[in-house]
Structure 1
Amino acid sequence: MNYIDLKDKSEAELLAMLKEKKLELFTLNAKQKTMQLTNTSELRVAKKDIARIQTALTAARAK
């Protein structure tokens, strides 16, 4: 997911994506705690996606 893809989306779409990614991060954290997560880099990717979405939200609200 790139910022370029996100900046064209509406605020409602971004909020929905943010909620989805936060849920994904929660499940990944739970899997890591129970030693079920094999690819730990997924955590980093999810966190970065959340940051990108939040950046796009801030930019959308500033307009």
Structure 2
Amino acid sequence: MNLIITSIQFFKKSYYELTKVTWLGKKEVGGIAIIVITFVIIMSVFVSVVDLFLGAVVSIIL
């Protein structure tokens, strides 16, 4: 019985804390998503170039 009461209190407190959260708007989420996608693309290209370079170096050495 005590577990049920503490669980209910936990969910009530969690809900109360979620009401205090400031959520991002659609424009902000879209802007951040574009930044993240751009960063992922740039890092993918960078890692690919480094991988090709190191692969060529290792093939020359071996």
User: The TM-score by the shorter chain falls in which range?
Assistant: 0.3 to 0.5
Q: Which has the higher contact order (CA 8 A, sep 6+)?
A: 1
Task: Give the structure with higher Rg (CA).
Answer: 2
Q: With the length of structure 2 as denominator, give the TM-score of the two structures.
A: 0.45
Q: Name the structure with the higher helix share.
A: 2
